[in-house]
Structure formats: C-alpha cells, structure tokens
Amino acid sequence: MRTIKGVPLFAMACTVLIGLTLSMIACGTARDVQFVVYSSEDRVPLYQQAFDAFKAKTGIGVEHMQAPGAQVQKWEQVITRIAGGVSPDVVGAVSVEFVQYAANGLILPVDDFIQRDKVNTGSIIPILVSALQWRGKQYMMPYGASGVPLVYNVQLFDEAGVAYPPDVWGRPEWNWETFVDTLRKLTKTDADGNITQYGLGGPPWDSWITLPYTWGGDWIDSKLQRFMGTSAETVASLQAMQDLRWNYRVMGTGGGLLEGHAAMVGWGTWNLPAMIRSPLNLRMAPWFVVGTHPPKGPINPNGLAILETSPNKEAAWEFVKFHTLDPEGNYLFATAAGSLPGTPQAYRRWQESIQTQKPGLNPFAFVQQVAEHGAIIDIRKVTTFNDINSVMVPAVSDVINNVKSAASAMEEVAPVVQTLIDQSAH
C-alpha cells in the first residue's frame, strides 16, 4: 500500500501537515497531473473549470493533454508516450473497454487507495462501480455515464396528433407494437410516394453494440466466454431494425432530427449541447418494452484510469477522488465530459441545469435509464473486442441494408467471433 511516508520530500524546509495533499507536502514541487482526454473545442473551457476547482481545493495543477476522439487511437497515443519515457498520469473518457488495457498492465487498480482513504464507493450509482471492476479489482472510479436515450420532436408529434411517449420507464403501454404504430403515424410521403419525414431517423443505437438489450438479448454471456449473437432475442433485435427500414418503411439511414426530417431518434447524451441549442422542442423518452423482458437501455459507464507508469500516482489519485466523489468536482467534470454525474448531489444538479437551459427536455428519463434500467455493453470488456468489432460492423450493416437476414448474418460470423472470444484474457 502506498503511504505518504514513502514519498520523497524535495525541500528540507517543508512542514509536513496531516491531511494535506501530496503537492502541499512537497511545498508545490510535485508536477501537475498530466491528464489525457479528447475534448472538442467548446468543451475545453468546461474541463478547465473542473481543473480550476480541483487546484483551488488541493493545490495541484492539471496539464490537459489532448488526444484523438477514438478510443483505440487515444490509447495508442498514451502507449507511445509511455514508451518514450513521458507517461501521463490519468486517462479519461474510458468505459468498459478498459479491460484490454488492464490485461496488458497499463492501468493501476485503485483498491489500495480506496481502503487506505476509507472511500465510500456506495455514494456512486452502483451499476457504474461494478461495471468498472475486473477480476475482483476496481480498475477505475466512475465519474458518470453516457448513453443512448430516445429523443423526439414534440411539434411533429403534435402535428400528427400522436400521443407522446411516457416520461418514465416501464409503462406497459409503451411497447414495441405501440412504438411501430407511432412511427407509422409520424412517417410522411409526398405525392410521388417519396418519404419526406421518417418516424425514426435511423437505427437507434450507437453502432451494433448497443442494440439487443431492450429485446432481452446480449452479445456475450455474463462470464464473457460465449457469443450470444445467434440467440433468439439478439437475432430478433437485429431483424426488427431491418423490418423498420424495409418492411414498415418508417426508419431512415441516420439523423434528420434537427433538420425536421425525423420525428424521433436514438441519440447519445454526448449530443446534449446540440439538443439544448436547438430551437426545436425536443424531449427525451424511455425505451419501449419488448414482450415480457425487463425494460433496458444501453449506457456507457465512464471512469478515470490511473496509469501503472504514472510518476505522480498520489496526485493522480487526488485528481480521481475529486472528480468522482466530490459533488462539485463530479458535477463539473461529468458536465465537461458530456456525462450524467455518478453521485446523487451532482446528478440532481445536472438535471436541474438541463431543465433550466432547455425546459421540457426531461433529463430524468436518462437518470432513470442509468440508475434503474442500464444495460452494460459487456462485449467491450473482451480483450479482442477491436477484432470482433471489425467482423461485426459489416455483418450488421448487411442486415440493416437488407442484404442478409439477421439469422443468416449472425450464423456466418458466430464461429469467427467465438474464436476471438476464446483468445481473450478473461
């Protein structure tokens, strides 16, 4: 276990005070926390607010190291820095794909820190904490979650005389059949039969990985050992997407909500700034119920990873604690990252802020999705996920484009994906 006693003091004149952070103990000589994350230009000032609040409380500065937006490219940059002897301290915007990096020894488990500081992880939404564990260890502390709720244009519902989706989850009348009927009423054609407005803008998920949970399906079993893409539930979810586009003709190929060409989409919460800025009357809604399956919606638990090679681990831990457990730090950081904060005080403040900026948007639907109905995308925990993704993307595309049925497409890829799962470090 790491202790403050083991930290070298760089200035003989320093007075050691109990309870001060490492940077204070070192009289300010410890370097800033080097933090790697992607951020669009409009989010940089938001991150800086979080960093300023952290420095005001701890005296520790933060150096924001910009990274590519894609996870693989971000980690490639981190690994390159480590190989060059200039390891960062903390990597952000990490979800359950952390396992492939933990298995390679890149991420430091934080259990010793948690025990030493008597940290109460029970103050965080439980599903977020458990999702970022592997082999019985807490590899990351969650600061919140992003995900894919349904979002709809109230005006287009009103024009069509269609009832709105419910505001809360689990209403039995908001089921698959009602959803399809709603989309039919919201889809418009011109005199020549061309579709001018879709009920649903496109496949309502963030790529193939987030699809089957509402149907009671999954891509992998709970032990991360068996491919479940050929299960009846998962196949049904894929076939439903093909049917929405080609049989019912109520779903486009993507987007259209902000342009007024689609009444509803499945839209990631990372698009919240666009929702808030839009002059349209937009509203979040829960996912529908399919059969007797419990209502589920895909979420991405987001956490902060301390690197094993960090030369500044104590300060890195202070950074992680502040942004995941402190109500102010958690709110500021999660807001900058485009996530629902993980602690109750922070997510209530997040909800109130959104309601103030965009009355009627109903962020509570997503709070419920995370806290009570969240589906974790476990296949991303497989260490060979990147290879699996390269197989699955074209296979699912064939289904959506009506090239193959869902059942035949999944039967074709199942042996390949299963072999890749077998090669993973469980």
Domain CATH number, residue 392:
3.40.190.10
Does residue 372 lie in a domain region?
Answer: no
Share of the chain above pLDDT 70, in %: 93
Strand, helix or coil for residue 61: coil
Do 288 and 348 share a domain, yes or no? no
What does the pLDDT read at residue 426?
65
**pLDDT score at 207:** 84
Both 181 and 205 in a single domain? yes
Q: Is residue 119 part of a domain?
A: yes
Q: Do residues 390 and 269 both lie within one domain? A: yes
Segments forming the whole domain that contains residue 417: 150-296+382-422
Return the residue matching tokens 């003709």.
249
User: Could you tell me if residue 286 is inside a domain?
Assistant: yes
- Indicate whether 275 and 415 sit together in one domain: yes
Q: Are residues 166 and 58 in the same domain?
A: no
Say what percent of the chain tops pLDDT 90.
86
The answer to whether residues 185 and 275 belong to one domain is: yes
140 and 158 both lie in a single domain = no
pLDDT digits (tens, 9 = 90+) for 8-65: 332 222 322 223 333 343 344 458 999 999 988 888 999 999 999 999 999 999 999 9
> pTM value?
0.88
Mean pLDDT, rounded, of the chain: 91
Do 260 and 407 lie in a common domain?
A: yes
Continuous segment of H or E residues that includes residue 229: none
Asked whether residue 25 is assigned to any structural domain, the reply reads: yes
Burial class (CB in 10 A: 0-12, 13-18, 19+), 323: buried
Q: Which residues are bridge partners to 266 per DSSP?
A: 150
Q: Mind listing the pLDDT tens digit for each residue in 52-99?
A: 999 999 999 999 999 988 888 999 999 999 999 999 999 998 999 999
> Residue 30: what pLDDT?
56
pLDDT of residue 3: 34
Angle CA 91–350–150, to nearest 5: 90
**Residue 72 confidence (pLDDT):** 87
Q: How many domains does the chain have?
A: 3
The pLDDT tens digits of the residues spanning 380-413 come to 999 999 999 999 999 999 999 999 999 999 999 9
348 plus 264 within the same structural domain: no
Q: Do 75 and 178 share a domain, yes or no?
A: no
* The predicted structure's pLDDT at residue 206: 78
Residues 103 and 123 in one domain: yes
Strand order in the sheet with 150-153: 188-189, 195-200, 262-266, 150-153, 282-285
- Measure the CA–CA gap between 67 and 71, rounded to whole angstroms: 9
Residue 375 placed within a domain: no
pLDDT by residue (tens digit) across 224-283?
999 999 999 999 999 999 999 999 999 999 889 999 999 999 999 988 989 999 999 999
Q: What is the DSSP letter of 137?
A: E
- Note whether 17 and 45 are same-domain residues: no
Q: What is the total residue count of the chain?
A: 426
